[in-house]
Chains A and B, each alone.
Chain A
Amino acid sequence: MKKRKLLALTLAVSITAATLLSGCGSSSSGGENGQVVVYNWGEYIDPEAIAMFEEETGIEVIYDEFETNEMMYPKVEAGATQYDVVCPSDYMIQKMIDNDLLMQLDFSKLPNATEHIGEQYWEQSRQFDTDNMYSVPYCWGTVGILYNKTMVDEPVTSWSILWDEKYKDNILMQDSVRDAFMVALKLNGNSMNTTNEAELEAAKEALIEQKPLVQAYVIDQVRDKMIGGEAAIGVIYSGEAIYTQRENPDLEYVIPEEGTNIWIDSWVIPKNAQNAENAHKFIDFMCRPDIALMNFEYITYSTPNVTAQSMIEDDDIRNSSIAFPDLSQYTNLETYSYLGEEGDALYNALWKEVKSY
């Protein structure tokens, strides 16, 4: 008994000592010009860019990450943590505008945004932010099929390959309601923003039929699994595709002919923000071409910053049809819109049926 006591004590003491040592120097002090609380997707920014912002402006950045739009929303709504800058996706921005959670941006404080963000992205943003008053585009992309050339020898052009028996146990699907239904709805030739019950029912049936063929429903693990050759085909965001190709050249990305989701993640400022002034500074800083380029190279998600696009040194990437596809070549591209509470509930109920089947 005595031994155990001694053991516990020594463990505790040594661990405490180790922490005290390692913790030195990492205590943060508030910036001289106040702070800005940023709420962004995980791994969605170059940490160097944050450090540069802090150094240049003297504003301390408090940085937090979320995993899904749906996880972010209640936290911002409840206001337990008052975020100053948030980066939600299209349909979620619409929901936040509808529910009066967002502040109108003062574009006189965002010269870089107006100058460097391409017109087509503002145009696209109007689908969820009608007068471009609330959001500044940060990243955009498509959703498509990533496949391994050594495991798939036929040409991949359609979502229907995800229903091909040949690839049983070799298919990775997205584990989120809207993305999974998007695939099935597009396959059936419907709009991915439909709330028509018959269309959704058909999509559900398709997903249930597909389930035995699916190896796993994953979110971003699709990246790791495809690189490792764990699966032949996966549904993936275009931003991830560039990274995976770099790691494993056998991988190829296509936008299926039935059309897909074209999405935008944008910076917004919540109404209850405490540091709106600093928030504008942060957003404008992120729109500076050199910073946008840095972020693009780090996260490999397409930037809407046209000046930054032209500054990309690698020709292959600058002209990449994955990062910057010529959208006029594709038909049936859509952006998610907010479906209202009832629409959401319907999708969620059907998705639960698929998952528990």
Chain B
Amino acid sequence: MNKKKLLATPYLFWSVMFIIIPLCMIFYYGFTDKTGAFTLENITAIASAEHFKALWLSILLSLISTVICLLLAYPLAMILANMNVNQNSFIVVIFILPMWMNFLLRTLAWQTLLEKTGVINNILSFLHLPTLNIINTPYAIVLGMVYNFLPFMVLPLYNALVKIDKNVINAAKDLGANPVQTFTKITFPLSLPGVISGITMVFVPALTTFVISTLLGGSKVLLIGNVIEQEFTQTGNWYLGSGLSIVLMIFIIISMILSAIFDKDREGALL
């Protein structure tokens, strides 16, 4: 049996080389200044008014998006899970399909749709309805997040729901549970691993995005992802950029621990 463990060597090598060492480098930059001396300044910089506001806004917007995604995706996943098996794979793939159209192009298409002179407003004014002015506001950013990350919520939910044994639900009904009770006592608790992994898969990318806020927010809303990106690409202060990345990482680790408390056996809840 020990020979089998050798099969992990390539992966072990790979993770050390491309996951652990790069992380160490971020930590190195995050805890040093230009002269190479140790400092905590890059970490504590998060407390400055601008950075804190950016982080707070990011958390707020991504939480809102995650909740909306969950509310939209759960009924959808339930409908899909109850459908005929044959159609399933087809329909599931239909939800991955938009991802084959480039992410940037899709987001840019929303810009075309939402603009003041855009498609939606043209239709609305043709129907003599009031126009929609959400482009370059936080609303458009939330919309972009929901749109881009919805499949990440649908898939784990669907996979969790499809695994639930129908007999359990039928048994509950036989024992006199009404549909609401069946849902809250049986279906929802059993789908919890899917819910948790869906939430992390939406929350994390939403928390850290910089592209969506640039394209749909008109750069008027500064998110923590934008701050970090700008430190690397515009300001050229890699030390501060790394320091803020570490702070972001800490937030993600906290959310990971929280989800671990909810779900002790979350290995492979993804698909």
Contact in complex: B116, A230 (CB < 8 Å): yes
Contact A70 B93 (CB under 8 A): no
Closest to B54 in A: A356
A145-194 with Cβ < 8 A to chain B: 169, 175-177
B234 touches A177 (CB 8 A): yes
Other-chain residue from B53, B86, B133, B220 in contact with A217 (beta carbon distance below 8 A): B220
From residue B198, how far is it (CB to closest CB) to chain A in Å? 20
**Residues 76-104 of chain A, each 1 if its beta carbon lies under 8 Å from chain B, else 0:** 00000000000000000000000000000
Is A126 close to B, CB under 8 A? no
Q: Total A-B residue pairs with C-beta atoms closer than 8 Å?
A: 64
Known contacts A218-B218, A229-B117; decide if A356 and B236 are in contact (CB<8 Å): no
Closest chain-A Cβ to B226's Cβ sits at a distance in Å of: 8
CB contacts (< 8 Å) of A216 on chain B: these are: 136, 218-220
Please tell me the number of chain B residues within 8 Å of chain A, measured between CB atoms: 25
Q: Is A214 an interface residue (CB 8 A)?
A: yes
Q: Is the CB of A230 within 8 A of B115?
A: yes
Chain A nearest Cβ from B200, distance in angstroms: 24
Q: How far is the CA of A301 from the CA of B133 in the complex (A)?
A: 34
Is there an interface contact between B53 and A356, defined as CB atoms closer than 8 Å? yes
Given A216-B218, A352-B227: A176 in contact with B54 (beta carbons within 8 A): no
The verdict on A12 contacting chain B, using a C-beta distance below 8 Å, is: no
- Report whether B219 and A68 are in contact in the complex, using a CB–CB cutoff of 8 Å: no
B contact face: mostly helix, strand, loop, or mixed: helix
Q: Is B222 an interface residue (CB 8 A)?
A: yes
Is the C-beta of B235 less than 8 angstroms from some C-beta in chain A? yes
For B219, what are the chain A residues with a Cβ–Cβ distance below 8 Å? 175, 216-218, 355
- Nearest opposing residue in chain B for A225, CB measure: B115
Number of interface residues of A (CB under 8 A): 29
**Which residues on B sit within 8 Å (CB–CB) of A344?**
235
Which A residues lie within 8 Å of B218 (CB)?
214-218
Q: Which residue of B lies closest to A3 (CB)?
A: B89
A231 to B22, CA, bound (A): 44
A74 contacts B by Cβ under 8 Å: yes
Taking the closest CB of chain A, its distance from the CB of B178, in whole angstroms, is 34
In the assembled complex, B238 has its CB within 8 A of some CB on chain A: yes
- Given A7-B89, A70-B234, A74-B238, the answer on whether A352 and B222 have CB atoms closer than 8 Å is yes
Closest Cβ of chain B: how far from A346's Cβ, in Å?
Answer: 12
- How far is B234's CA from A218's CA once the two chains are assembled, in angstroms? 14
A348 within 8 A of B: yes
List of A residues within 8 angstroms of B237 by Cβ? 345, 348
Q: Which 5 A/B pairs are nearest by Cβ-Cβ distance? A: A216-B218, A217-B219, A356-B50, A4-B89, A356-B222
Additional 14 contacts, C-beta under 8 A, given A348-B235, A352-B50, A355-B50? A3-B89, A4-B89, A7-B89, A68-B234, A70-B234, A71-B234, A74-B238, A176-B234, A211-B220, A355-B220, A355-B226, A356-B49, A356-B54, A356-B222
